[in-house]
Structure 1
């Protein structure tokens, strides 16, 4: 019972994570903040559906279709659809009408519905068609590098590719990483030291804003009544 999620990381520069999920006996979930966007497909009693799920700047509560099976591709930070700029998707998204189990409509064309084993190949087809693009500056900045651009230009490109400032994206990524460590049994003090928080109250504020759980809840309650959305190490 609940929201069962499984997935795998990707070595594609365009894809972060490929996941599947199934809901049973749950109608709400805590949607953890994320700087990345997803392409999601699901089958429920109401039929087959597809949507572009935008990045989330803060934690929220989201409905979960009853007895539904989901498949999703989480795209890499800095990757964006050319006809749907990332800033337009933050804290929102786009339902894709008339999707079927075989195909869906995206930027003036029908595309075959991908599966867990061909998500990367699907992303490459989008790239070749000019539907999906990626700004490598985002990866360089997130890794602490110094891009060959002025600070103002770098920040403008970062926001255009992600919908966030560099600082906001780092805060979200760090809070998600903290949640993963705490769910794995790490002590709050160790997470503070490892991820560079000032102290445990600083960690607690970040978790409340971006994850919606305390450190104790993440560590001691692996199956809460209201489940968390997808969490994985970034």
Structure 2
């Protein structure tokens, strides 16, 4: 791995994790499908940059450059931005306009660039939510957690489509693939992972991981990058 990586959980209902990286060389990271929104702040020798990524259904190459420092917000299941239809951002990353080095534009408003300060990152998320730019669909999160959802399957599907641009089945496939990689990286055997996560067989696991993460189970076992 050619970058240093750390992450922390968040107490916000809108956020899964906040991660920090420092790039130690030039290269390309293959980000797995994640069915989540992401916001990335980069500080480089050339200045600052903000990227907004919509839910992804496929692996995405992400270039990195030695010396860059990055902070990313991986939003929670069910969290979504309200200023744009999710279909317009699915499998897409948009570089946001920065009118000054300390401000970026999102949803028609200017927001402070938080840099690498976790407190400022958390405050930014709260500001998004307070103004209605960021919303959270409890139905999506409850359905993924296996909790009771007093709605018809069609209604649940509409909630998923609105927040993620995907069906519940596709979101669960992505979540299962990411869990499979995490287990493989912890040293679990390929056959055990396939069985415990409900794949039909090892070939099924291989097809799903290759399609959603870009790596085979064997490659995933030796991969030292985050999922």
TM-score by length of 2: 0.91
**Distance in 1 of aligned mates of 2:22 and 2:71:** 9
Aligned to 1:213, the other structure's residue is in SS state: coil
CA shift at 1:221, angstroms?
4.5
Contact 2:25–2:65 at 8 Å: present in 1 too?
no
Distance 1:80 1:128, change over 3 A: same
SS at match of 2:119: coil
Residue from 177, 183, 186 that aligns with 1:184: 186
Structure 2: runs of 5+ lacking an equivalent: none
Higher RCO, Cα 8 Å, sep 6+: 1
For 1:151-199, what per-residue CA distance to the aligned partner results, in whole angstroms no more than 9, with x for missing partners? 2222112111111110000001110111111111111122112211111
Q: Alignment partner of 2:23: what SS? A: strand
In structure 1, stretches of 5+ residues that fail to align are: 223-227
Cα distance change, pair 106–220 in 1 and its aligned pair in 2 (3 A): closer
Deviation at 1:34, TM superposition (A): 0.9
Check the 8 A contact 1:37/1:55 in 2, yes or no.
yes
Map Cα deviations across residues 16-43 of structure 1 (whole Å, 9 max, x no partner): 0100112122221212111111111101
SS at match of 1:117: helix
**C-alpha separation between the residues in 2 aligned to 1:199 and 1:186?**
15
| Stretch of structure 1 that moved more, 41-50 or 212-221 | 212-221
Q: How many residues align?
A: 225
2:36 aligned partner = 36
Structure 1 residue 85: deviation in Å? 2.8
Per the TM alignment, residue 66 of structure 1 is displaced from its structure 2 partner at its CA by 4.1
1:116 aligns with 2:131: no
1:2 aligns with 2:2: yes
State TM-score, norm by structure 1.
Answer: 0.88
